[in-house]
Amino acid sequence: MDVAHTTLAERIARALAGLDHSANGDGVERSASASVDETWPGYLDQADAILRTIREPSAQMAATGDPRIWATMVEAAIAERETI
């Protein structure tokens, strides 16, 4: 299993920045990597809101695994976000 080298909050913020800048999303840039690198910190509040929203698993998610583990992992991601 692969393990990320960046926080979940950063990865979410980068994805949101990519959506705003990239022509593959809502933006116009054919290659948005430089813009994403520059602007992703501005998306951390949105990433935090997403993390706080997903900490409670849906019924279907809970049926496939231990919802306490999910909640604990998302809480860890929220705590990581606070270190950025």
Domain range list for the chain:
8-81
Q: Are 40 and 13 in contact (CB under 8 A)?
A: yes
pLDDT of residue 66: 94
Single out the residue of 5, 10, 4, 3 nearest to residue 84, CA to CA. 10
Give pLDDT tens digits along the chain (84 positions).
899 999 999 999 999 999 999 887 777 778 888 999 999 999 999 999 999 999 999 999 999 999 999 999 999 999 998 888
Cα dist. 7→3, 19, 50, 84 in Å?
A: 10, 19, 14, 9
